[in-house]
Structure 1
Amino acid sequence: MTWNEMMLSDEEREQIDAIRQREGLESVDQALEWLAKTALRNGVKRVTGKGRTLYAVIGNPKLCV
């Protein structure tokens, strides 16, 4: 998986660290991943009215034609 670097202000880092501690996560990266997945789940639930499971899809990287 490709990782992107994020520039965070001190206030944003404090908020993410508070979420990390509240959710029992080990790193800021895990907290950011948790926030992204939570936002996706909530968005999908608003659109479809149903919850969905999110997981990494690993497979053949060939293009669909």
Structure 2
Amino acid sequence: MPQALFEYDDTERSLLERIRIQQGLQDCDQAAEWLIKARLRRAALRLTGRGRALYPVGRNEQ
């Protein structure tokens, strides 16, 4: 798999450091990867509509 190298400024590095500690990761690159994967999972859920409440269509006969 190709590797990408990113430069982080101080604000980004502090955010990644907090995420790294919270998630128990080894370095900031793993924290960045975790954030990307989390974002992709949320986007996929919105795209497929999974997790939404499903209601029967039709008349409510009470």
TM-score of the alignment, normalized to the shorter chain, above 0.5: yes
Deviation, structure 1 residue 27: 1.2
Root mean square deviation, CA, Å? 1.3
- Pairing of 1:1-65 with structure 2 (within 5 A): 1-50=1-50
TM-score, length of structure 2 as denominator length: 0.74
Moved over 2 A (4+): none
Partner deviation per Cα, 1:26-64 (whole Å, 9 max, x = no partner): 11121111111100000000111237xxxxxxxxxxxxx
TM-score, length of structure 1 as denominator length: 0.71
Residues of 1 paired with 2:31 and 2:42: CA distance? 16
Q: Which runs of 5+ in 2 are unaligned?
A: 52-62
Aligned length: 51
Q: Over alpha carbons, which structure has the higher Rg? A: 2
Residues of 2 paired with 1:47 and 1:31: CA distance? 24
